[in-house]
Amino acid sequence: MKKCACMLGLAGMLRLMTGCATPSPLTSLTSPRPSGEFPSGFINKTLDFDGARYRYVVYVPYEYSEQKAWPLIVFLHGAGERGNDGLVQTEVGIGTAIRRFPDRFPAIVLFPQCPENEFWDVMFAPLETMMARIREEYTIDPSRIYLTGLSMGGYGAWLWASTKSDTFAALMPICGGGNVEEVAGRLGRPLSGDYGTPEERIRHLATLPTWVFHGADDATVPVERSREMVAALQAAGGNVRYTEFPDIGHNSWDTAYAHEKAIRWLFKQQRR
């Protein structure tokens, strides 16, 4: 059975982010493969980094050609997809949307997997190496690299983007929050890395075009977490959009990633 997309499964975090994605029928990829002969679809990969092996997935569109530069999307999953199988992180969120609507996602997509009982801060260094490998293996447009995540991954996206405003062209956090001190307190340990003050994080985030999503009836991650971040970015002069889905609980990601206008907006963003 497909895992739930939950937040940090440590003591004290169980109620913070528990939610499930609802399985839906998947459409098939019907576009004929061009003659470029690059493997396409969801491709399993491994990275040996600092004594550990990480399994991750790279999605390559059927139409991929090395003759043009492609956008890169980095997707951070929720707590229910943590582990080391290297697969379940593709079964929730943007992976589901790609299988339903492949024509909407003309991009290379990176699906890392966070280890069991950990938070995304421990993955930022391996992620840098995964991204570097992708830029070596595929023709990537460096001005169109995007970051998105849901639930625990939404928290991770807010956090990592605040340190990578010179890399990402846009940010799409879903049902997450940006309070680093809250996450560290619930983890019972300080986060690895230096993320500065809340004011510094907002100042960096305000330079990124951002579209935030949350369900109004989310009983796992309070909707106020997204509202707080949106208000802070607006006060800092940021380019931020906010969509709050009425009558939707924690699983706002299925609706968000199926939001055709938002996906078109994402691909229009370009870092200058």
pLDDT digits (tens, 9 = 90+) for 214-244: 999 999 999 999 999 999 999 999 999 999 9
Contact between 147 and 110 (Cβ < 8 Å): no
Contact between 173 and 238 (Cβ < 8 Å): no
Fold of domain 41-268: Rossmann fold (3.40.50)
pLDDT digits (tens, 9 = 90+) for 10-19: 434 434 443 4
Contact between 173 and 225 (Cβ < 8 Å): no
Average pLDDT, the chain: 89
Q: Which of the pair, 90 or 1, is modelled with greater confidence?
A: 90
The tokens for 147 are 């970051």
Q: Which of 225, 247, 232, 170 is nearest to 202 (CA)?
A: 232
> Structure pTM?
0.87
Which residues neighbour 265 within 8 Å (Cβ) at sequence distance 6 or greater? 211, 241
Phi and psi, residue 221, nearest 5°: -110, 110
Any idea what the Cα angle at residue 16 is, between residues 8 and 148, rounded to 5°?
65
Quote the DSSP letter at residue 86: S
Task: Round to whole Å and give the CA distance between 114 and 103.
Answer: 28
Q: Which of the pair, 43 or 30, is modelled with greater confidence?
A: 43
CA atoms within 13 A on the CB side of 103: 5
The domain limits of the chain are 41-268
User: What pLDDT is stored for residue 171 in this prediction?
Assistant: 98
Task: Round to whole Å and give the CA distance between 38 and 26.
Answer: 23
Q: Where are the alpha helices (DSSP H) in 81-221?
A: 94-100, 124-137, 152-161, 180-187, 198-205
